Amino acid sequence: MVFTRKSPGRWLLVTCAADRAFRSLRACFLLSAKLGYSPLASDFTMQRDNYQQLVETFFQWDQPAIVTILEELLSAAAAGEADQSMAIMSQNYETAQANPEIHVLPGNLKDARDAIFPFFWGTDGWNNPLHLENVRGPANHASLIGAFACLLKNPNLCTDRYSQRSNELEVKAITALANLIFYHTQDPWGVFTIGGTISNFYGAKIGVERVVPGAMQAGLGGQRVVGICSAASHYSNQTIAGWLGIGTQQLLQIPTDENLAMRVDVLEQRLTELYRDQTKVAYVVATFGTTDGFGIDDLASIREVLDRVSREYQQPAPQLHVDAAVGWALTFLADYAIQENPLELSDRMKNIVERVQRHCAGFRHVDSVTIDFHKMGRGHYPSSAFIVNRRQDLKYLSRDVADTPYFSEADSRRDPALFTLECSRPALGPYIVMASLNGIGLTGWRMLVARSLELAERLKQGLEQFDFCRVLNRHTTGPSVNWWVLPQGRQASAIYDRLLAGELPEDERQRYFGEVRRLHQKREKVMDPKLDAHLGFTTNYGFRPHGIEIPAWKAVFFNPRTTDEIVDRILFSIEELI
Ligand SMILES: *Cc1c(COP(=O)(O)O)cnc(C)c1O
């Protein structure tokens, strides 16, 4: 690919072509000599045959050779999955750095296979339905087809010159997701990024430009600029505040209520204080589905507060960005016909879906959103998207063609490089998303999401039967469950109520929290890895009454193959334990 249009080499070629009209090669030599070039030597000495062999092996399309190796890899992956008793191999970090060997002689595709195979074999695909410890599940096979197609063409989404129709696919995928999220949005736009962190970064950056116009060029000029999130928000917001240059200390955390939703009354109070102090408030990151407990912020109320208070103090309204990295997939249920109930959901589930729909309606009020398709979309990494509700808001990120010299032909109407943080961008996201959305279909997605909610509800209900357990996120509508397990005889809910009321002395609290952790560790030791699910543990699930961080056991239902029996077995294993 030629980036510099006026390279001397190209000029020379053009000149030679003109000279051919005079059928005078000599003239060309003369001309090039005049320009200071000598004709290329013809006795180019590199081993021609070996070179030819190299090119044939690695750059010519040898379909049988490629298919053979793909089949071998697929078989190995299937074998690993079929035998769930097989332990995952342990890492060998000690010599990974000491032996970064590179073969000396050119090999073939099998050498490529062998170079990665031990690590491929030793890596868990998270396909096991007993994996419940975090927000990651198996990737779906429609996504695999999409990702594979993308790798074969290897488009670069920086400008449409390097991606052709793949750029069109990005527009389509973003619009499809925007329609799910914002309902009937007029003019959405967005891009795929390498992760939720980067998608959140875009939202925060728009906010900074809103309150410090021209910060992209002139910087913050020593002004105090703050961002706001909830105490249960993802740690990536800290990363972003640091990298943006406003500083991690300028990211203010608003406490949450018991359901892990930002306290809007405290937000209003804080915002008023900040404006009184003449502080610039660039953005509020609301969370739609906190990583541990699936708390959902009240988006409509946050919008109302931001608009009203900023108007009162004559400040630009902060960017309202929603981190829906985990929670966005609930929007598949946003217009599920509860009355007709085609999926035959139980009454309890219909009630949950109704609450989901109320939460989803909040998206209409926000400026931008982060979606991780690689989480509840069960897509391959990376397939994260940043989407704005109104395309004109991208003006806060855009640069001139003059700032992106080798995209001199770039057109701001369709070339993302003029506003993206990244230059080269993989097209995996659009391929993964469109293949998954259309392979599985809306009804399929509704079934997958509803089933996750059903499994979480089953576990919550089961745990509630035990006096020594307390479900901490009882009323969040998501696929995750956070809870305490205490020794037999303890009244978990009474202890929790005293904690909330501020009546639990510190030493008692430490004792109970220690018990919650030790029982989790004990289960890890005695569990049967062939039958018992792997559960997660968090030292702080997000709700912090009186500033106290609360530990919890954790299960996330992302794997569609997890069964009722697996959930019941969790309950059994807890009863056995204590
Ligand atoms: C996972 C997560 C992120 C970060 O996303 P990555 O894709 O891992 O960078 C941000 N916010 C929330 C709520 C998350 O769960």
Does ligand 1 come within 6 angstroms of the Cβ of 197?
yes
Using the mean position of ligand 1's atoms as its centre, give its distance from the Cα of residue 423 in Å.
Answer: 22
For 302-334, write each residue's pLDDT tens digit: 999 999 999 999 999 999 999 999 999 999 999
Does ligand 1 come within 6 angstroms of the Cβ of 230?
no
Residues in the chain: 578
Half-sphere exposure of 45 (CA within 13 A, CB side): 0
Greatest distance between any 2 Cα atoms in the chain: 102
Does ligand 1 come within 6 angstroms of the Cβ of 318?
no
* pLDDT tens digits in sequence order for the chain, 578 residues long: 333 333 333 333 333 344 444 444 444 444 445 556 666 666 666 788 999 999 999 999 999 999 999 999 999 999 888 876 666 778 888 888 888 889 999 999 999 999 999 999 988 888 999 999 988 889 999 999 999 999 999 999 998 888 888 999 999 999 999 999 998 788 999 999 999 999 999 999 999 999 999 999 999 999 999 999 999 999 999 999 999 999 999 999 999 999 999 999 999 999 999 999 999 999 999 999 999 999 999 999 999 999 999 999 999 999 999 999 999 999 999 999 999 999 999 999 999 999 999 999 999 999 999 999 999 999 999 999 999 999 999 999 988 767 766 666 667 667 888 899 999 999 999 999 999 999 999 999 999 999 999 999 999 999 999 999 999 999 999 999 999 999 999 999 999 999 999 999 999 999 999 999 999 999 999 999 889 999 999 999 999 999 999 999 999 999 999 999 999 999 999 999 98
Using the mean position of ligand 1's atoms as its centre, give its distance from the Cα of residue 239 in Å.
Answer: 12
Instruction: Tell me the two tokens of residue 515.
Output: 């018990």
> β-strands 280-287, 368-372: how paired?
unpaired
| N-term to C-term CA, the chain | 66
Does ligand 1 come within 6 angstroms of the Cβ of 167?
no
Does ligand 1 come within 6 angstroms of the Cβ of 236?
yes
Using the mean position of ligand 1's atoms as its centre, give its distance from the Cα of residue 385 in Å.
Answer: 11
* 301-305: long-range pairs with CB below 8 Å, 24+: 301/264, 302/262, 302/264, 302/267, 302/365, 303/365, 303/366, 305/264, 305/267, 305/268, 305/271
Does ligand 1 come within 6 angstroms of the Cβ of 383?
no
Measured CA to CA, the distance from residue 66 to residue 63 in angstroms comes to 5
For a mutational test of ligand 1's pocket, the pick from 193, 194, 372, 428, i.e. the residue with the most ligand atoms closer than 8 A to its C-beta, is 372
Atom of ligand 1 nearest to the CA of 381: 7
Does ligand 1 come within 6 angstroms of the Cβ of 306?
no
Q: Which residue has a Cα nearest atom 5 of ligand 1?
A: 196
> β-strands 319-323, 384-388: how paired?
unpaired
Does ligand 1 come within 6 angstroms of the Cβ of 297?
no
Q: Which H or E element spans position 75?
A: helix 63-82
Starting at the edge strand that comes first in sequence, how are the strands of the sheet with 536-538 ordered? 469-471, 480-485, 552-556, 536-538
Does ligand 1 come within 6 angstroms of the Cβ of 439?
no
For a mutational test of ligand 1's pocket, the pick from 236, 239, 287, i.e. the residue with the most ligand atoms closer than 8 A to its C-beta, is 236
Atom of ligand 1 nearest to the CA of 196: 5
Atom of ligand 1 nearest to the CA of 290: 13
Does ligand 1 come within 6 angstroms of the Cβ of 372?
yes
* Three-state SS at 537: strand
Q: Considering the entire predicted model, what is its pTM?
A: 0.91
Does ligand 1 come within 6 angstroms of the Cβ of 367?
no
Which amino acid makes up residue 521?
Answer: Q
Does ligand 1 come within 6 angstroms of the Cβ of 196?
yes
Does ligand 1 come within 6 angstroms of the Cβ of 234?
yes
For 525-564, write each residue's pLDDT tens digit: 999 988 999 999 999 999 999 999 999 999 999 999 999 9
Does ligand 1 come within 6 angstroms of the Cβ of 296?
no
